[in-house]
Amino acid sequence: MMITDLLKVASETHTYQELSEVLGLSPPILSRYMRGHVLPSYSRAQGLYKKLTELTNIKEALKKRIMFDEEGYFDNTPLTSEITWLKIMSNYAMEKFAGRRVTKVLTAAVDGVPTATLVANLLDIDLVIAKDNKEVGIQEFIEEMYIPKGSAIRKSLFVPKSSIRKKDSILIIDDVVRTGETVQALVDMVRNQRADIAGIYVLVTVGEDWKNYLENIISKYSFEVLIQI
């Protein structure tokens, strides 16, 4: 099924005929694969995956979709709502963290939730969403306080107390990292519960400030970034 998503991305810059020549498949077969009407066999999918990743640089393709405004903010629609890109970003996480013990996926609300949900679904494990408020109906919470850079305000992230346990091995996912405070808070939350960190996956990093702030985390844990801007 990864082939279906990669073909959709490749078709944005290549015609069916061009893809047919590169992949050695007829345009009708490519069309069926792309629409999901027919799926390639596992052995054929392996060969197509190699060729498609060489043909389509998903990192550069995604980077071209991210447009900044004059104030330095960008439209994160591909990160939050475009299902083809959400699946590609989720499959990238599967590839990078394959073989690791992961019992739960942890992210902060709200924009990291779509990718984190798909990754948790692929791994068939629970999803934990850290929120900035306490929801009614939950009696006890794990709270992690942090101070955003350049502010004098304490903020907190909350998860239900039973959602992170000592036996867990947590994969942390964040959508956009500029300074790194949210990632640090999520890491501290897991550490304070004496659970393990399976790795950290960031979809987009902006600038260089985060590297110094998260230096100890980057050196200690498996830290994967999809694209850097």
Q: Please give the Cα distance from 200 to 24 (Å, whole number).
A: 37
79-89 pLDDT, tens digit each: 999 999 999 99
Please tell me the number of Cα atoms within 13 Å of 116 on its side-chain side. 25
Q: Where are the alpha helices (DSSP H) in the chain?
A: 2-10, 16-23, 27-35, 42-55, 58-65, 77-80, 83-96, 113-123, 181-192, 209-213, 215-220
Q: Please give the Cα distance from 186 to 200 (Å, whole number).
A: 10
Nearest of 196, 193, 204, 201 to residue 172 by alpha carbon: 201
Tell me what pLDDT residue 199 has. 98
In this model, does residue 72 exceed pLDDT 80?
no
| CB 108, CB 130: distance < 8 Å | yes
195-215 pLDDT, tens digit each: 999 999 999 999 999 999 999
The fraction of the chain above a pLDDT of 70, given in percent, is 100
Confidence of residue 160 (pLDDT cuts 50, 70, 90): very high
Q: Which two tokens stand for residue 107?
A: 């992210």
Tell me what pLDDT residue 165 has. 97
Tell me what pLDDT residue 70 has. 82
Which residue in this structure is represented by tokens 């007829």?
26
Tell me what pLDDT residue 73 has. 82
Beta strand pairing call for 155-160 and 141-146 = antiparallel
Confidence of residue 178 (pLDDT cuts 50, 70, 90): very high
104-136 pLDDT, tens digit each: 999 999 999 999 999 999 999 999 999 999 999
In this model, does residue 219 exceed pLDDT 80?
yes
Q: Please give the Cα distance from 48 to 25 (Å, whole number).
A: 10
| CB 176, CB 76: distance < 8 Å | yes
